[in-house]
Amino acid sequence: MKIWEDLLQDIEKNIPSGTECELKMMHSKSALTRFANSQIHQNVDEESADVFLTLHKDSKTITISANLTALKNPMEFVSKAMDSLKSSPIDKGWAGLPDSSESFSGLSKIDESTPDERANKVKEFVSEGKQMNAAGYCSSYTNNYFVWNTNGLNSSDSSSSAFIDGIFRTESSAGSSHRGGILLSDIKAQQAGNEAAKLAIDGENPEDIEPGNYEVILGHEAVSTILVFLGVYGFNAKSKIDGMSPINLDEKQFDEQINLIDTPEDDDSIGFKIDASGAKKKNLEIVKDGVSKSYFHTRRTAKELNAENTFHELFGWGENFGGIGTNLKLLGGNVSREEMIKSVKKGIYINEFWYCRVLDPITQVVTGLNRNGSFLIENGKITKPIGRLRFTQSFMASLAPGNILSVGNKSRYADSEFGEGMLRVPALHLKEFNFTGGVSG
Amino acid sequence: MFSEINLSIDSAISSGAKYADARILISKSRNIAAKNGEIENLNENEKIGIGVRALVGSSWGFYSTYDLSNESLKQAGKKSFEIAKASSTVSGEELPFADIPVVEDSYTTPHDENPFSVSSSEQIDLLLSSTEKMKKLGSSRAFGRLDFWDTEKWFASSQGHKIYQNIIESGGGISSLSVGDGETQIRSYPQSFGEYRTGGWEVVKSFEFENHLERLSQESQRLLVAPQCPQGTMDLILEGSQLALQIHESVGHAIELDRILGWEAAYAGTSHLDLKKLNKHKYGSELMNIIADATLPGALATFKYDDEGTPAQRVDIVKEGIWTGVLSGRDSAAVAGVPPGGMVRADGFGRLPMVRMTNVGLLPGDSSLEEIIEATDEGVYMETNRSWSIDDLRLNFQFGCEAGWLVKNGKIIDMVKNPTYTGITPEFWGNMDMLSGEEEWIFWGTPNCGKGQPSQIGHTGHPASPARFKNTRIGVRG
């Protein structure tokens, strides 16, 4: 890409000798078509090009960033960074730059979706709900990422992704569904619409039930939310350094049916094959038969914990956020949703969680609510839709040894309240889940 | 800049848009984070770009780019029209748009010292010394952060607006974390995630971090050995910053007109409020007077015009417990038949402006925290938010705080850990029976309000003073 080549040439010649330097650029085109009350009401498209420059000299480090327009003059940009570097404090955590052996060339041309193509996906979703009120979005992204450093690394990669997520509402209920993929053409909008519509219709006129400990079947989106929390607070090595992670490696902290891997190398994984430092990511075992096997590391966390870097640095956050697994995959089991329901004497089916927040990160006790499709299961059958319940439950305990009754046999990309889903998960059947409040508080 | 903006607007209108507006922004930010006497993050960022909005039929089309060349600006206008037009595949009734005065004006946030003119080393030193001292005082981890934003906006519309604003925001905070056996306890100042206001470096200096280091360190360690918060239904006393978040979640979001109209249904949710009950619905006790005021000097959501060019204003939201107002923009106000409230803002040039809280606050009462505690037979006083969760109608909530203080017979008798409370919005506000006065009224600021798709982060203000709530369920645990 010419804008990168020009930028790199201009910056490189202005780097003072003896200074370690890392230059990164993300060029993105993102589009999102949003619908509510069964019509498209907001339709947005953005082109961005953001540049990050990190300099390290005399044990001091500085990062400055700008988009291409704000950067104006590369010489001034480097000069500004050098001035700031002088007033920076000593950086004891500096962990160096990846070398040329980590270089990766994955740049490719990806066709962008058009507003009309996204509108057609929305139409497919909305039409499944007949007269019901539909709301949601259809989005598509193409990203090109470039990294160069003075240690000889020169990496680039391209990625694309597309999602549809929506709900149908009736007077008394709502149902939601989600699909994600690498290209918009991969997205089965009609299938998602059909699922959401069925949940909304089946969920009409819900009844309130008493809070308490229930056996639960968690749908894809609910499972995804649990894994987002464990990924950010638990397996993030920075969280461990900060004393907030419940994860202890080589301990059997989860049920033996839990097998969690990060799969950046898989062809059907969404996202880049390299991390923000430009090094190639590798598939990584996170939980094996219930045993915690690895944290997500960046250069700095690996240095601080004397561990091997797993290359999970995020673009834009620097290393302030720690290491995040962006291609988590919870391995599926062999039990269908129908078989799960048949095996429940009294329990609850939850499609999606909402507004989950941690009470204490180290215990992973989280409070949140159910929404968009919740049902009471009695004697092997769904007997009625249920209203809102509030849970206060440790997510670690929810996946603990003995609490997983079965793992679903169908996996897909699933959403969570924290953004578009890049996690592939099956449904889970849990022995206990603690609901602490009902509709009356 | 206005001539560049007009290239985009003219292009959108000549393509067929009914209305178009655009904003060019120069946004600077400086973010500094420290831990245990060392810098964890130091980043300076600058972005420049344009966002163009075109109204066609029932939909907004929006296009943004960093490229401000003349050709790109014209293309941006055309694309915003084409994107809106593509919405016609799944369209509805034509979107109405309320009239506002067409003005040419400028505004700069009043401030003493622009935070970007202050040496970053002075700002770094404040965090390094604060976190180093807390670590030495026994904190397991000591954190600090400072954030500064300097945003220049040029807004113009096809109706003739030409508005320049320079908004300067500053803030930050410090925290002491203590790690025990299978638990963590934290104390933060001025509030969790920091306190933010419009203004310059003087905002941070006014916090006087140095006077709070010992207390934070001691309290986080003391919490590890403190008894658990009692469980039951009793009086709850909330410190101002926690009450600010209570207002944000259970009032501020519920009164957003785009939510009430269903425009945010899939993601942020809707609202328990029904427009048919405006001026009738009982939101809380007679002590409850909520305003949305974008003109409060120094509050975080203070400006002169919103991102649609509507003048900043004060709107009564709840008067003596009765719901009287909403947060609105030009389109949502026209749909609902209310005056546009000047409450539409965007997170940068790359995002579509949307209904956002301004300074949504609870007007002070005539009591004081001291009097409230003296008047309480049995209850818990809770300080500083730690967790928050509320349903998508903004009814069923549960909050956790960093520290609790057991109150018996008018006196604080012990510190308690893991304090939580839960409730239902109208019942909870209906139980507010004591409210502190103007001397304890603080313009709390929330710099991390998420809403919209693509996701936007909003900066909102919440003036509040401590208050008491009778018969509240306290001490929910997992």
Which pLDDT score, from 0 to 100, does residue A418 have? 74
Over 90: is that where the pLDDT of A137 sits? yes
Cβ distance of B89 and A63 shorter than 8 Å: no
Taking only the tens place, the pLDDT of each residue in A283-300 is 999 999 999 999 999 999
Number of C-alpha atoms within 13 angstroms, CB side, residue A56?
Answer: 16
Q: CB-CB: which of B47, B61, B84 is closest to A66?
A: B47
Q: CB-CB: which of B43, B388, B455 is closest to A65?
A: B43
Cβ distance of B46 and A70 shorter than 8 Å: yes
Amino acid identity, position B370: E
Q: Are A379 and A253 in the same domain?
A: yes
Domain boundaries, chain B: 2-225, 232-474
Cβ distance of A167 and B265 shorter than 8 Å: yes
Taking only the tens place, the pLDDT of each residue in A343-384 is 999 999 999 999 999 998 999 999 999 999 999 999 999 999
Taking only the tens place, the pLDDT of each residue in B18-45 is 999 999 999 999 999 999 999 998 889 9
Q: Are A210 and A186 in the same domain?
A: no
Mean pLDDT to the nearest integer, A103-114: 93
Q: CB-CB: which of A123, A136, A139 is closest to B266?
A: A136
Residues of A with Cβ-Cβ distance to B418 under 8 angstroms: 359-360
Q: Are A227 and A294 in the same domain?
A: yes
What CATH number should be reported for the domain holding residue A159? 3.30.2290.10
Residue A246, both tokens: 């419940």
Over 90: is that where the pLDDT of A427 sits? yes
Residue A72 confidence class, pLDDT cut points 50, 70, 90: confident
Which pLDDT score, from 0 to 100, does residue B24 have? 98
Residue B148 confidence class, pLDDT cut points 50, 70, 90: very high
Q: Are A93 and A64 in the same domain?
A: yes
ipTM summary value: 0.94
Task: Kindly write down the DSSP assignment for every residue of B60-74, as one continuous string.
Answer: EEEEEES--SHHHHH
Residue B477 confidence class, pLDDT cut points 50, 70, 90: confident
Residue A317 confidence class, pLDDT cut points 50, 70, 90: low
Q: Which of residues 106-165 of A touch B (CB under 8 A)?
A: 114-116, 118-120, 122-123, 126, 133, 135-137, 139, 165
Kindly report the length of chain A. 441
Listed in sequence order, the DSSP H helices in B174-295 are 201-205, 213-225, 240-247, 257-260
Mean pLDDT to the nearest integer, A180-205: 96
Distance from CA of A351 to the nearest CA of B (A): 14
Return all residues near A62 (Cβ < 8 A) that are at least 6 apart. Answer: A54, A55, A81, A84, A85, A88, B42
Q: Are A211 and A163 in the same domain?
A: no
A 10 A CB-CB count for A57 gives 16
Residue whose pair of structure tokens reads 């029209």 in the numeric block: B81
Taking only the tens place, the pLDDT of each residue in B425-475 is 999 999 999 999 999 999 999 999 999 999 999 999 999 999 999 999 999
Taking only the tens place, the pLDDT of each residue in A29-47 is 999 999 999 999 999 999 9
Does A110 reside within a domain? yes
3-state helix, strand, coil in chain B (%, to 5): 25, 40, 35
Q: Are A15 and A87 in the same domain?
A: yes
Over 80: is that where the pLDDT of A318 sits? no
The predicted model scores a pTM of 0.96
Q: How much is the mean pLDDT over chain A?
A: 95
Does A198 reside within a domain? no
Cα gap A177→A352, rounded to integer Å: 9
Domain limits for position A334 = 206-441
Taking only the tens place, the pLDDT of each residue in B221-264 is 999 999 999 999 999 999 999 999 999 999 999 999 999 999 99
Which element (helix H / strand E) includes A397? helix A395-398
Residues of B with Cβ-Cβ distance to A92 under 8 angstroms: 38
Which pLDDT score, from 0 to 100, does residue A440 have? 66
**Nearest residue of B to residue A242, measured between CA atoms:** B141
Does A196 reside within a domain? no
Residue A245, both tokens: 């992670």
Cβ distance of B42 and A62 shorter than 8 Å: yes
Q: Are A322 and A348 in the same domain?
A: yes
Cα gap A286→A261, rounded to integer Å: 5
The residue from A164, A191, A218 where one domain ends is: A191
Residues of A with Cβ-Cβ distance to B89 under 8 angstroms: 40, 116, 119-120, 122-123
Which pLDDT score, from 0 to 100, does residue A17 have? 92
Cα gap A138→A37, rounded to integer Å: 15
Q: Specify the number of domains making up chain A.
A: 2
The residue from A137, A164, A191 where one domain ends is: A191
End-to-end alpha carbon distance in chain A = 56
Looking at chain B, the whole-number percentage of residues with pLDDT higher than 70 is 100
Task: Kindly write down the DSSP assignment for every residue of B69-123, as one continuous string.
Answer: SHHHHHHHHHHHHHHHHHGGGG--SPPP-------EEEEE---SS-TTTS-HHHH
Distance from CA of A296 to the nearest CA of B (A): 18
Cβ distance of B60 and A41 shorter than 8 Å: yes
A 10 A CB-CB count for A60 gives 18
Cβ distance of A357 and B387 shorter than 8 Å: yes
Residue whose pair of structure tokens reads 């990294």 in the numeric block: A147
Interface test with A, best of B58, B66, B384, B388 (most A CBs within 10 A): B66
Residues of B with Cβ-Cβ distance to A394 under 8 angstroms: 478
Q: Are A133 and A237 in the same domain?
A: no
Does A16 reside within a domain? yes
Is B429 in the A-facing interface, judged by CB distances under 8 Å?
A: no
Interface test with B, best of A47, A60, A138, A208 (most B CBs within 10 A): A47
Residue B324 confidence class, pLDDT cut points 50, 70, 90: very high
Is A212 in the B-facing interface, judged by CB distances under 8 Å?
A: no
Helix, strand or coil for residue A239?
helix
Q: Which long-range contacts (CB under 8 A, 24 or more apart) does A238-241 make?
A: A238/A298, A238/A301, A238/A319, A238/A321, A238/A322, A238/A323, A239/A322, A239/A361, A240/A295, A240/A301, A240/A305, A241/A301, A241/A304, A241/A305, A241/A322
Over 70: is that where the pLDDT of B345 sits? yes
Does A201 reside within a domain? no
Which pLDDT score, from 0 to 100, does residue A42 have? 94
Q: Are A110 and A242 in the same domain?
A: no
Cα gap B45→A70, rounded to integer Å: 9
3-state helix, strand, coil in chain A (%, to 5): 20, 45, 35
Cβ distance of A40 and B90 shorter than 8 Å: yes
Cα gap B462→B460, rounded to integer Å: 7
Kindly report the length of chain B. 478
Is B90 in the A-facing interface, judged by CB distances under 8 Å?
A: yes
Helix, strand or coil for residue A414?
strand
Q: Which of A357, A385, A391 is nearest to A372 (CA)?
A: A385
Fold assignment, B2-225: PmbA/TldD fold (3.30.2290)
Q: Do B210 and B122 form a contact (C-beta atoms < 8 A)?
A: no
Q: Are A51 and A143 in the same domain?
A: yes
Q: CB-CB: which of B91, B396, B422 is closest to A388?
A: B396
Does A199 reside within a domain? no
Cβ distance of B66 and A69 shorter than 8 Å: yes
Taking only the tens place, the pLDDT of each residue in B88-129 is 889 888 999 999 999 999 999 999 999 999 999 999 999 999
**Nearest residue of A to residue B422, measured between CA atoms:** A441
Which pLDDT score, from 0 to 100, does residue A422 have? 78
Taking only the tens place, the pLDDT of each residue in A257-283 is 999 999 999 998 999 999 999 999 999
Q: Are A273 and A212 in the same domain?
A: yes
Residue A146 CB-density burial (10 A; 0-12 exposed, 13-18 middle, 19+ buried) = buried
Does A403 reside within a domain? yes
Q: Helix B2-15 crosses helix B70-86 at what angle (to 10 degrees)?
A: 40
Which pLDDT score, from 0 to 100, does residue A441 have? 62
Q: Are A181 and A280 in the same domain?
A: no
Which element (helix H / strand E) includes A225? helix A220-229
Cβ distance of A39 and B92 shorter than 8 Å: yes
Does A220 reside within a domain? yes
Q: Which of residues 374-393 of A touch B (CB under 8 A)?
A: 388, 390, 392-393
Interface test with B, best of A190, A355, A356, A358 (most B CBs within 10 A): A355
Cβ distance of B124 and A87 shorter than 8 Å: yes
The residue from A158, A191, A224 where one domain ends is: A191
Cross-strand bridge partners of residue A441: none
